[in-house]
Amino acid sequence: MKRTAINPWPWSLPFGFNQGELIEGGNRVLYCSGQTALDENAKPQHKGDIRAQTTMALDNLEAVLEEGGMTLSNVVRLIVYTTDVDGMIQNFDALVSRLDAANVKPAQTLLGVTRLAFPELLVEIEATAID
């Protein structure tokens, strides 16, 4: 797979994303459902801690990717849903550092929502991956 970053403006790069990504030669596409801070029994974790919830959502996303034979480096699109946009922006480095470690800057959208599946959840991360 060949990835070409599309960035008519560079402001998004410190936030860990490209404005667009041109993908050529991809073979498989994995559409990941939104991942949150739920444990293996679907019990919400880290009530009130958006940073810990972001980290756990990423852990859960990586588990889904691994099951599909992929890693964060295969992610080409992320949608981050949060009930606290300001809190998410203040803790966005928790997401960016994981993406940087995978050497990837997927196209992203950050959306503020009224609530997620469980009232304790503050963040949900949905991804599309290609290899």
C-beta atoms surrounding 25 within 10 Å: 9
Of 21-30, 60-69, 72-81, 114-123, give the lowest mean pLDDT range: 21-30
Q: Report yes or no: 96 and 72 within 8 Å, Cβ to Cβ.
A: no
pLDDT digits (tens, 9 = 90+) for 8-40: 988 888 888 889 888 888 789 999 999 999 999
pLDDT per residue over 101-123, tens digit each? 999 999 999 999 999 999 999 99
Q: Are 86 and 50 spatial neighbours (Cβ–Cβ below 8 Å)? A: no
Domain boundaries, the chain: 26-130
The model's pTM: 0.90
What class is the 26-130 domain?
alpha beta
